[in-house]
A and B are shown apart, each in its own frame.
Chain A
Amino acid sequence: MSLVFARFDLQSWLPRTQTLLPLAFIVVIGIVLPVPGMAIAASAIVTMLLVPTPFLGDERGRLDTLYGTLPVSRTSIVVGRTLAIVALNAVAVIVANASTLLVALARGGSPDPQVLLLVNAGAFALVGLAVALQLPVFFRIGYSRGRLMAYAPALVIAGLAWIGQETGLITSNVAPPAPIPVLAAIGFAIGLIGIIAGAVVAARLYRDRELR
């Protein structure tokens, strides 16, 4: 039933303008900013910004109550929505990588595959972080009461960037602390763990939530 709910969920909010426009924004970033990987970073930011969107839609359409009356377990609803967000991220990543490659080809260059791998891994780690932070809160208290959490990923990223800068990790002349494939694997692992942890905690919190 999780897949059924994921499909239902995507039908509800993916075709909206406010979802599709940010996806177009990724392409614009890929064209305007010449640094390879910026569109991929933008795909992570867009995904993070769109995580609250279905929860906002739930409250506007009183879909929370509908979910409570569907013959689906609450765990299936959480897993289904998580899958829908992962699917959105997959679309964003495909758009980002395609625009990165096409723009590079149009400019007569070819981006470094290792850089792209690392940026994709970093972007996925950020998405995992956002899901881990936001899903439990939105599933427990809904969008209205939890909307400040929409800014949490941005604050965490800013904090990590500040720490990286203060410790000298984010400088162009420092050698990577590990081979790039290892760093990429760590990034993807962080993303995956974040998504799974977010879904597990959200399922526990949503199970006991009273729906109005």
Chain B
Amino acid sequence: MTDDTIRTAAHDPVRVEALGIQREGFRISDVSFSVPRGGVVGMVGPNGAGKTTAIRALLGLVAPDAGTVRTFGCAPGSPEALARIGIVLDHPTAAPEWRVDSIGRRLAPFYAEWDDALLRDMLDRLGVPRTQRVGELSRGQGVKLTLAAALAQRPELLILDEPSSGLDPASRRQIGDVIRDFMIDPDHAVLFSTHITTDLDALADDLLVLVGGRVAYRGPLHEATETFALARGAGSPPREHVLGVQRSGAGWTALVRMEDSAVFDAGTVIDTAGIDDIVIHLGAEHQGVAA
């Protein structure tokens, strides 16, 4: 892990230090990361890892119990910060009876930079029918509507919570294209969470892996696959130098650090680890050892 790409400069759009949130049956501990200008940070982790809660803490929807959270140097949820953030949550935040073409009229008064022409262009580009009601839209169309509305605010930071979950590949590509276009401006930044690790390859500069409410990895995406390796073997898995183990049939796979790969015996096969391997094995370690 290197901190030079997960920069912590004061002007970073997002800066989180030692975030702690404790609720019934759930806990986030000591989560630190930042999202720099010009950077795209992808957040991954198993269900219940704390991705959505961390995002909600950034927006001031959930109050931290420990640590500090700053968006554009302001307290989370402050109107000054929220005016600069476009938000796409995992569900559309619009009443089902609203017509799509009324969204601009409803939301524009809250945003000084609102661009109604951009909203219409984005809706057409993403194929969201403007005359339909929000409740009649498919999940994918709902996400696209929310993304279009978020961009019409002319934000500096986009925060997306599982934007591609449940979408077909064509829709995922459309959303990815929109995010890439947004990032043409070097002052912009993006933080998104996802279960679909191919989205990370396509979009993210930096990776943040949350497991069990803790940061399991943070750093440049390309370094993640260079940092870890996947060891495969038969019989009992080793106990040392192993970050996470999965058993399958008579064999096992284990996530190890690349520099530790030489310590395994000749019967162990060392492969490169993909992002999925990293997330699955770090998650397995958190849960004990997955079957």
What is A's interface to B at a CB cutoff of 8 Å?
Answer: 1, 4, 7-8, 11-12, 16, 57, 60-63, 65-66, 68-73, 208, 210-212
Contacts and interface: CB of A to CB of B under 8 A. Distances in A.
Interface of B: 56, 59-63, 77, 79-80, 82-83, 85, 87, 89, 91-98, 106-107, 109-111, 134
B59 A69 contact: yes
A65 B106 contact: no
Given A61-B98, A62-B92, A69-B89, 17 more contacts: A4-B110, A8-B109, A16-B97, A61-B94, A62-B91, A62-B93, A63-B93, A63-B95, A66-B93, A68-B59, A69-B59, A69-B82, A69-B87, A70-B110, A71-B80, A208-B63, A210-B62
B59 A11 contact: no
Q: Which of A7, A16, A61 has the most CB of B within 10 A?
A: A61
B59 A73 contact: no
A7 B109 CA distance: 10
B61 A66 contact: no
A65 B111 CA distance: 17
Q: Which of B56, B85, B91 has the most CB of A within 10 A?
A: B56
B110 A72 contact: yes
A71 B82 contact: yes
A11 B94 CA distance: 13
Given A61-B96, A62-B91, A68 B79 contact: no
Contacts of A11: 106
A141 to B, nearest CB: 16
A72 B79 contact: yes
Nearest to A5: B110
A8 B91 CA distance: 20
B231 to A, nearest CB: 41
Contacts of A71: 79-80, 82-83, 110-111
Contacts of A211: 56, 61
Given A63-B93, A210-B62, A210-B63, A68 B77 contact: yes
Given A71-B82, A71-B83, A65 B94 contact: no
Contacts of A8: 106, 109-110
A99 to B, nearest CB: 29
Q: SS class of chain B's interface: helix, strand, loop or mixed? A: loop
Contacts of B91: 62, 65
A66 B94 contact: yes
B165 to A, nearest CB: 16
29 contacts: A4-B109, A7-B109, A8-B106, A8-B109, A12-B95, A12-B98, A16-B97, A60-B96, A61-B94, A61-B96, A61-B97, A62-B93, A63-B94, A63-B95, A65-B89, A66-B93, A68-B59, A69-B59, A69-B61, A69-B93, A71-B111, A72-B110, A73-B79, A208-B63, A210-B61, A210-B62, A210-B63, A211-B56, A212-B61
B14 to A, nearest CB: 15
A208 B68 CA distance: 17
Contacts of B92: 62
B105 to A, nearest CB: 8
Contacts of B77: 68
A70 B109 CA distance: 11
A210 B60 CA distance: 8
A1 to B, nearest CB: 8
Contacts of A12: 95, 98, 106
A65 B63 contact: no
Nearest to B135: A61
Contacts of B85: 69
A69 B92 CA distance: 12
A65 B87 CA distance: 11
Nearest to B52: A212
A68 B61 contact: yes
A124 B118 CA distance: 45
Contacts of B56: 211
A71 B110 CA distance: 7
B201 to A, nearest CB: 29
Contacts of B106: 8, 11-12
Give the 7 A-B CB pairs with smallest separation, nearest first. A61-B95, A71-B83, A66-B93, A71-B82, A71-B79, A211-B61, A4-B109
A208 B79 CA distance: 15
B78 to A, nearest CB: 8
Nearest to A4: B109
A144 B110 CA distance: 28
